[in-house]
Amino acid sequence: MKQILTLARLVTLEALRTRFFAVIIILLILGFGLSLFIGQITLIETVNYQSSVIAAFLRLSAIYVVSLFVITSMVHEFNNHSIYLWLSLPLQRSHYLIGKFSGFALVALVTSILFGIALLNYVPYMQVALWSLSLFCELLIITAVSLLCVLTFHQIVQAFSMVLGFYILARSIIAIQLMAQSSLLNSQSWIDQFINSLIELLAMLLPNLENFTQSGWLVYHIGNFNNLVEILLQTTIYTILLISMSLFDLYRKNL
């Protein structure tokens, strides 16, 4: 346990040393500037437009900056051979990975809290709390995916491209599924049947990130505990599954 906490603390120190939170502050400033711009050009429901736009901007910014931090941090460890030094010590590989993930999760938690605070000027605190917790859960899944991809590819471009593809697909899979089931596309050719089956398979395998961090909670104040239960359940299942896959990949490597 002490080894895990030490690794988590080192990840947090790395975030401070690489000015990760300076980037967060810059994104917050950009978000506020965007909300002020929206406030100047809208005539009605100004607060609703501001809250929805800044929420979408902050959510995408959080996904981008956290996943990129995870990937670059791990690639740096491979490039300067720090990972080999760690694994040469009496340290289990599972403890190493869990320690790293814990540190990244702490960074994601701070990010979601800071981004949630930025919305308190527009939205009631209960809806902001639900949105922030949902964003943290979304970041946990993305962190686990980033770890799996970087352990597989060891390169920033390939790993980040895979994470980006995963996020876009998981965020839009329900819409893709609805389009595939449209009566206008009701074709019986084997190609269409194969594509429909593939979409159904992806919908079963991927987390339904469309239900996470919804802007509608902030605009219409419709978020409730039932939304949170489903989100926490999906986060637990997919995080454990992805970390297990990362552990399997790490143990099979000859490091």
pLDDT, tens digit, 9 for 90 and up, residues 17-33: 999 999 999 999 999 89
pLDDT, tens digit, 9 for 90 and up, residues 129-185: 999 999 999 999 999 999 999 999 989 999 999 999 999 999 998 888 888 776 555
Greater confidence (188 vs 86) lies with 86
210: its two tokens: 């469309």
What pLDDT is stored for residue 190 in this prediction? 72
pLDDT, tens digit, 9 for 90 and up, residues 87-117: 788 888 899 999 999 999 999 999 999 999 9
Residue the block writes with tokens 């051979």: 81
What pLDDT is stored for residue 21 in this prediction? 94
Residue the block writes with tokens 């959510």: 59
From residue 198, give the alpha-carbon distance in Å to each of 70, 110, 166, 209: 30, 37, 15, 18
What pLDDT is stored for residue 232 in this prediction? 95
| 67 and 161 Cβ atoms separated by less than 8 Å | no
What pLDDT is stored for residue 218 in this prediction? 86
What pLDDT is stored for residue 182 in this prediction? 66
Q: Is the pLDDT at 38 greater than 90, yes or no?
A: no
